[in-house]
């Protein structure tokens, strides 16, 4: 599972890669969001009284020592009468609400934000419905893979410069329920919905920042008999000062910022020398920075420096109704640095991708129509090694067709004018989709955030290459299959290797066509063993092709293909 910061980046990438739906759909989406929340919000009027219990643990095994474990237990009668108990290794809270009375007992001075966010998300997938409604008015609405995404930017500002943090809300088109949502102060990925007296409740919720935490509901039942005084919000022994968390605008928070030294920026070999960074932060009741979220920055080489600078900030306690509260907000930081003396300078990820595509992929440059044919061998669903065929027919950016066939299975992507088509049939269709990816793997440069990528030199088969990579690598340098992908370009800017989804793909035996150098052999390796071997047997100029060839009736596709630049 991706961390929340990485998931935000990923979703932003996915959203940017598909066609924008007409703005006329905004009202329709707002209605769908309202309906989704009505169906899945547990702590709303009309819900049958319930008892819920959930266990919390890091989503990834590598984060098991993070200390982000705990329990949430909620007893709920109605919106004005409930009790919850939150537990983590360093904090415990009992809170009872009954009408206008609110009773708390806290063991610990700081309520971890990940614990608070997940406790709320379990019963209220959207904690700020009016805020969401305002965001949706100006949101971009796009669809991909059966999910409708609404995206916006929450802007942080220090009063001089500003930068946005991406927010989003996504609905499954099949179920009409929330798939994912995030903004400053809340986030959640929702799975395993089940009915509870007419409410569809997610029994698995992931979020809480980095490291990400997953909450699993172990009990959701009707509220039974409770002990006398169980909901007594006027009982003796409660804390005199209740612990609260408030989401506030950055400019309001900055009024409490204490004087500090200016940031010292390290020299940077890559990326812009001037720009802006922003991050979500959590401040405790004493004014100390307790959490810094994922850094959104114009130069990824400054992420650690920006994080350290923000952690060094101190604030006067932020007061709400005269009492100190925990605060969630943004911190925006401008930067200015210089190049180190004698350092090699790398270009942007976009530059390497655009250049690599332009010299090695015939569909990426304006040229003559062509037909490329290839044969490939792979182990099909039958368990035996089989031979398949791949054909790429390109006439123009708006008229092309790519098709892979293996036995009785086919996978086709096609475009004819303004219409797109996708056909997937047979047990080996997922394998055939890998063949298409292997032949054209370079991502569209509008489908990712530049700041996600890191660039450097890497030796490949004894030769120097430029590696453009993003995602998590283990301490020993090995890639995490679920979170890492990378591209290797040789000295001519030719793409010679890429890695994604645990698969390594090599591009070999380059030969000329129409001024390009096209790979005539592609090998897809799994754990060092060739799983798919593709050999280009012919590439030649195309003759006259019937336009109907590019139409696949009954298989319309209502959006672009996110990684395809043709």
pLDDT in tens, 438-452: 999 998 776 677 878
Q: How confident is the model at residue 21 (pLDDT cuts 50, 70, 90)?
A: very low
Closest CA to 247 of 333, 130, 141: 130
Of the listed ranges 186-200, 310-324, 332-346, 500-514, the least confidently predicted one is 332-346
Q: How confident is the model at residue 203 (pLDDT cuts 50, 70, 90)?
A: very high
Query: What is the structure's pLDDT at 3?
Result: 43
Query: What is the structure's pLDDT at 8?
Result: 40
Which position has the higher pLDDT, 353 or 138?
Answer: 353
Question: Sign of the CA dihedral 248, 250, 255, 260?
Answer: positive
In terms of domains, do 136 and 169 share one?
Answer: yes
Burial of 258 (0-12, 13-18, 19+ CB in 10 A): exposed
pLDDT per residue as tens digits for the range 523-541? 999 988 999 999 999 999 9
In terms of domains, do 274 and 170 share one?
Answer: no
Contact 74, 87 (CB under 8 A): no
Quote the CA–CA distance of 88 and 96 in Å, as a whole number. 18
Quote the CA–CA distance of 495 and 352 in Å, as a whole number. 9
Mean pLDDT for 533-559 is 91
Question: Sign of the CA dihedral 73, 75, 79, 80?
Answer: negative
- Evaluate if residue 22 carries a pLDDT over 70: no
Report the chain's mean pLDDT, rounded to a whole number: 90
The string over 517-546, giving b where at least 16 C-beta atoms fall within 10 Å of a residue's C-beta and e elsewhere, is ebbbebbbbeeeeebbbbbbeebeeeeeee
pLDDT per residue as tens digits for the range 297-306? 988 889 999 9
In terms of domains, do 389 and 511 share one?
Answer: yes
Q: Is residue 175 part of a domain?
A: yes
Residue that is last in its domain, among 187, 222, 257: 222
Q: How confident is the model at residue 98 (pLDDT cuts 50, 70, 90)?
A: very high
In terms of domains, do 418 and 483 share one?
Answer: yes
In terms of domains, do 429 and 353 share one?
Answer: yes
Quote the CA–CA distance of 33 and 191 in Å, as a whole number. 17
- Evaluate if residue 144 carries a pLDDT over 90: no
CATH number of domain containing 133: 2.50.20
Closest CA to 442 of 360, 557, 559: 360
State which residues form the domain around 138: 4-222
Contacts of 367 (CB under 8 A, 6+ apart): 514, 515, 516
Q: Is residue 269 part of a domain?
A: yes
User: Within 10 A of 52 (CB to CB), how many other CB atoms are there?
Assistant: 24
Mean pLDDT for 150-159 is 94
pLDDT per residue as tens digits for the range 212-236? 999 999 999 999 999 999 999 999 9
In terms of domains, do 328 and 477 share one?
Answer: no
The tally of domains found in the chain comes to 3
- How much of the chain, in percent, has pLDDT values that exceed 70? 93
* CA atoms in the 13 A half-sphere facing the CB of 144: 21
Q: How confident is the model at residue 402 (pLDDT cuts 50, 70, 90)?
A: very high
In terms of domains, do 80 and 192 share one?
Answer: yes
Mean pLDDT for 476-493 is 89
Q: Is residue 298 part of a domain?
A: yes
Query: What is the structure's pLDDT at 205?
Result: 98
Query: What is the structure's pLDDT at 27?
Result: 55
Q: Is residue 388 part of a domain?
A: yes
In terms of domains, do 378 and 447 share one?
Answer: yes
Query: What is the structure's pLDDT at 271?
Result: 77
Query: What is the structure's pLDDT at 42?
Result: 97
- Evaluate if residue 461 carries a pLDDT over 90: yes
Query: What is the structure's pLDDT at 2?
Result: 37
In terms of domains, do 456 and 519 share one?
Answer: yes
Helix (H) or strand (E) holding 129, with range, is: helix 129-137
In terms of domains, do 499 and 358 share one?
Answer: yes
In terms of domains, do 327 and 364 share one?
Answer: no
In terms of domains, do 159 and 17 share one?
Answer: yes
Query: What is the structure's pLDDT at 140?
Result: 85
User: What pTM value is reported for the model?
Assistant: 0.67
Query: What is the structure's pLDDT at 4?
Result: 42
CATH number of domain containing 260: 3.30.1150.10
Mean pLDDT for 247-272 is 94
């Amino acid at each position: 599972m991706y961390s929340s910061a990485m998931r935000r980046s990923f979703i932003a990438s996915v959203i940017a890669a598909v066609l924008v739906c007409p703005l006329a759909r905004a009202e329709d989406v707002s209605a769908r969001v309202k309906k989704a929340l009505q169906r899945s919000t547990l702590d709303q009027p009309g819900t049958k009284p319930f008892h819920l219990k959930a266990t919390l643990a890091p989503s990834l095994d590598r984060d098991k020592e993070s200390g982000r474990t705990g329990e949430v237990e909620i007893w709920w009668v109605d919106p004005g009468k409930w009790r919850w108990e939150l537990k983590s290794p360093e904090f415990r809270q009992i809170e009872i609400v009954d009408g206008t009375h609110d009773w708390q007992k806290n063991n610990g001075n700081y309520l971890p934000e990940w614990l608070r966010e997940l406790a709320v998300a379990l019963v209220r997938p959207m904690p700020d419905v009016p805020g969401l409604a305002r965001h949706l008015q100006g949101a971009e609405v796009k669809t991909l893979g059966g999910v409708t995404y609404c995206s916006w930017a929450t802007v942080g500002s220090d009063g001089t410069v500003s930068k946005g943090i991406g927010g989003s809300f996504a609905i499954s088109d099949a179920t009409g329920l929330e798939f994912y949502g995030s903004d400053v102060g809340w986030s959640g990925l929702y799975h395993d919905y089940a009915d509870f007296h007419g409410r569809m409740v997610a029994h698995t919720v992931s979020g809480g920042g980095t490291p990400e935490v997953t909450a699993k509901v172990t009990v959701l039942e009707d509220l039974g008999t409770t002990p006398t005084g169980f909901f007594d919000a006027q009982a003796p022994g409660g804390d005199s000062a209740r612990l609260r968390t408030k989401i506030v605008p950055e400019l309001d928070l900055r009024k409490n910022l204490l004087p500090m030294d200016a940031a010292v920026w390290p020299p940077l070999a890559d990326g812009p020398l001037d720009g802006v960074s922003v991050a979500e932060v959590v401040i405790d009741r004493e004014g100390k920075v307790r959490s810094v979220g994922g850094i959104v920055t114009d130069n990824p080489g400054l992420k650690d420096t920006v994080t350290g600078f923000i952690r060094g900030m101190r604030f006067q306690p932020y007061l709400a109704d005269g009492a100190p509260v925990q605060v969630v907000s943004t911190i925006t930081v401008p930067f200015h640095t210089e190049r180190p003396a004698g350092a090699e300078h790398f270009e942007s990820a976009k530059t390497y991708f655009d250049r690599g595509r332009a010299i090695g992929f015939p569909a990426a440059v304006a040229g003559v129509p062509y037909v490329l044919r290839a044969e490939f061998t792979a182990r099909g669903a039958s368990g035996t090694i089989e031979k398949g065929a791949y054909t790429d027919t390109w006439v123009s950016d708006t008229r092309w067709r790519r098709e892979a066939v293996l036995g009785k299975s086919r996978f086709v992507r096609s475009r004819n004018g303004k219409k797109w088509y996708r056909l997937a049939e047979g047990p080996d269709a997922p394998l055939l989709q890998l063949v298409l990816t292997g032949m054209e793997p370079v991502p569209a440069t509008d489908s990712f955030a530049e700041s996600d990528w890191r660039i450097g030199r890497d030796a490949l088969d004894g030769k120097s290459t430029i590696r453009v990579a993003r995602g998590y690598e283990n301490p020993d340098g090995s890639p995490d299959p679920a979170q890492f992908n990378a591209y290797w370009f040789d000295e001519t800017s030719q793409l010679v290797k890429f890695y994604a989804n645990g698969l390594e793909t090599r591009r070999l035996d380059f030969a000329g066509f129409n001024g390009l150098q096209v790979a005539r052999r592609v090998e897809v390796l799994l754990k060092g063993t060739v799983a798919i071997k593709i050999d280009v047997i012919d590439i030649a100029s195309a003759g006259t092709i019937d336009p109907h060839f590019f139409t696949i009736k009954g298989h319309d596709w209502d959006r672009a293909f996110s990684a395809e630049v043709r």
